[in-house]
Structure 1
Amino acid sequence: MDPIALITDLVIICVILIGTQIAAKIADRMLQKYFLSFAERMLKNNILQAEHVEEERTRTFHIIIRRIVVASIYVAGIALVVLQIPQLYRIAIALLAGASLAGLAIGFAAKDALSNLISGVFIAVFQPIRVGDYVTFRNDYGYVEDITLRHTVICIWDKRRIVVPNSVISTEVIVNWSMRDPVSVWTVDFLIQDASNIDRAKSIILEIARSQPHVLKEMEIKVLLVESTKDGNKLRLYFNSLNRDLAFDTGCHILEEAKKAFMRERIS
């Protein structure tokens, strides 16, 4: 093999790899700046509502588009490297032309990767979840921290990260607490032993609920008797809060305050 030709090929390959990395970084930064300025123009023109739902929908779509562009640049760079090496070029041509068992094996091995990639694009387009959405996935509650071309990262309540392949996200049932309307309806149950105390207990519960800062007063707050057994009478409080996190914390505060009030009123 001609040493000069080999050195020349190696230099060209290095230039291609470095150029590919630089081009990918420049493209990512340019797209990021463009999307930010585009969102600002839309907000100024009142075309895009300045609401959390719209912001996260746009942000998720832009993240996926940026990553697709960057990935395409890297693929193009790898293709140029393959064309620069005659041995790799001949192997690639043979695989493409022959559609042999080796080609089928490679396709089968890449099946999961392609499935995750396609699912990532579908998530960006149809957006069942978005970056920043609060979701429940397999009984774990958290928010969507990142969506890549391969996987989605969910940060759950105890700060652990669940990394889920996009193909799994596309087939699993996920509760999205932020879609369309982040307001959450929350319930708190109370078991009152003596039926004669039901009216007083309902009054106390409603008074405490209305005093909570994160209970939406303009929406209905009610207490209903949902079950009556030999063990007691179950009262259920319904209230609305701005999001699921505030609803959970507020429900705990109401339960604690009601417990103290029941003890003072001698309600079992």
Structure 2
Amino acid sequence: MNLVGNFWNDIFFAIIVFVVAIIIARVLRYIIGRLVKGASSKLKVDPTKYNFLKNAVEFIVYIIALIIIFNSIPKLKSYGTALFAGAGVLAAIVGFASQSAFSNIVSGIFIVMFRPFSVGDRVRVGQLYSGDVEDITLRHTVIKDFENRRIVIPNSVINNETIINSSLSHENLCIFIEMGVSFDSDVDQAMRVLQEETMKHPDCVDNRTQEEIESGVPQVNVRLINITETAMQLRAYGWARNPSDGFNLKCDVLKNTKRRFDEAGISLAYPQRMVYIKDNNATRN
């Protein structure tokens, strides 16, 4: 009677464990389905492509249920040890092979949740890649660089890099415009020319507050920031509405300032070296 009673107790225990596992698996599938559906709608991808995530979670729940059953029933414990040892090796192989894919998917979901950038933003990823974000998927992000090339970067790589987002805020950008003039040039005149060319550019905006305007702060400041071995380094601080306008501002001001410098007789700096030649014959004479 005890053997029969223990047998039915084990069967009843196994049924309870499986019922609980089914309930937990269904709940987790629902939660993950909602998360994937929300992320897929923002990323504009088909959520059915990522149903394997829900299936994987359900599979893990059932595996845990089997482990509990085999460890709780003495007659099955010896068989369970050998069975799950082999399954553990297989799971380790599969997990190692899919580690990169899962990492990219999780990183893509984090990008959607925390939104360090969005489609259309101008970003710089690390020190190598710059451009406009063209597409974001659960696996990778596509950036169109300034040469109209598409750069496909895995999301896990982006999450480990420093991201500079020039479109994250709508504030004006300060553009540094630097030029080096020779030591024999009139530095005050050169600073004045650089300031005038920056201020009259159509993409240069007035970023001063009302108090700064009333106190006479110039719209564009020009500073002598350094004196090197070959040049007096000037820097103009111009303001633009966005990175594109700032790029145009810098290029045009450099061109127009060079033309004004030529007209005013202001020379740009260039490397100079003085070479002394020792005449050994003259010394002997």
TM-score (norm 1): 0.65
Alignment of 1:77-156 (within 5 A): 98=84, 99-137=87-125, 138-156=127-145
Does the 8 Å contact 2:124/2:163 carry over to 1?
yes
Q: Residue 168 of structure 2 aligns to a residue in which SS? A: coil
1:193 counterpart = 2:185: no
Match of 1:172 among 138, 146, 161: 161
1:217 counterpart = 2:172: no
1:166 deviates by: 0.4
Larger Rg: 2
Does the 8 Å contact 1:61/1:124 carry over to 2?
no
Does the 8 Å contact 1:223/1:238 carry over to 2?
yes
* Number of the residue aligned with 1:63: 42
1:71 deviates by: 3.3
* Number of the residue aligned with 1:25: none
What is the aligned-residue RMSD (CA, Å)? 3.0
User: Whole-Å Cα distance in 2 between the matches of residues 95 and 110 of structure 1?
Assistant: 20
1:245 deviates by: 2.1
1:193 deviates by: 1.4
1:258 deviates by: 0.3
Does the 8 Å contact 2:104/2:154 carry over to 1?
yes
Distance 1:94 1:226, change over 3 A: closer
* Number of the residue aligned with 2:7: none
AA partner of residue 149 (structure 1): L
AA partner of residue 99 (structure 2): K
1:63 deviates by: 2.2
* Number of the residue aligned with 1:262: 261
* Number of the residue aligned with 1:227: 226
User: Whole-Å Cα distance in 2 between the matches of residues 100 and 234 of structure 1?
Assistant: 66
User: Whole-Å Cα distance in 2 between the matches of residues 61 and 240 of structure 1?
Assistant: 38
Q: Residue 115 of structure 1 aligns to a residue in which SS? A: helix
User: Whole-Å Cα distance in 1 between the matches of residues 173 and 227 of structure 2?
Assistant: 27
Structure 1 stretches of 5 or more lacking a match?
1-30, 36-59, 80-88
1:198 deviates by: 1.2
User: Whole-Å Cα distance in 1 between the matches of residues 221 and 152 of structure 2?
Assistant: 39
AA partner of residue 223 (structure 1): V
User: Whole-Å Cα distance in 2 between the matches of residues 182 and 171 of structure 1?
Assistant: 27
1:206 counterpart = 2:195: yes
Q: Any runs of at least 4 consecutive aligned residues in structure 1 with deviations exceeding 4 A, and if so which? A: 93-97
1:167-214, Cα deviation, whole Å (9 max, x unpaired): 000001122211223632211111121466111111111111111111
1:112 deviates by: 0.8
* Number of the residue aligned with 1:253: 252
User: Whole-Å Cα distance in 1 between the matches of residues 159 and 253 of structure 2?
Assistant: 37
1:108 deviates by: 1.6
1:69 deviates by: 3.5
**Percent identical across equivalent pairs?**
31
Q: Residue 132 of structure 2 aligns to a residue in which SS? A: strand
User: Whole-Å Cα distance in 2 between the matches of residues 160 and 95 of structure 1?
Assistant: 47
User: Whole-Å Cα distance in 2 between the matches of residues 187 and 112 of structure 1?
Assistant: 41
* Number of the residue aligned with 2:243: 244
Distance 1:209 1:179, change over 3 A: same
Does the 8 Å contact 2:201/2:249 carry over to 1?
yes
AA partner of residue 202 (structure 2): P
User: Whole-Å Cα distance in 2 between the matches of residues 110 and 170 of structure 1?
Assistant: 18
AA partner of residue 170 (structure 1): N
Q: Residue 100 of structure 1 aligns to a residue in which SS? A: helix
How many residues align structurally?
Answer: 197
AA partner of residue 234 (structure 1): Q
Distance 1:108 1:203, change over 3 A: same
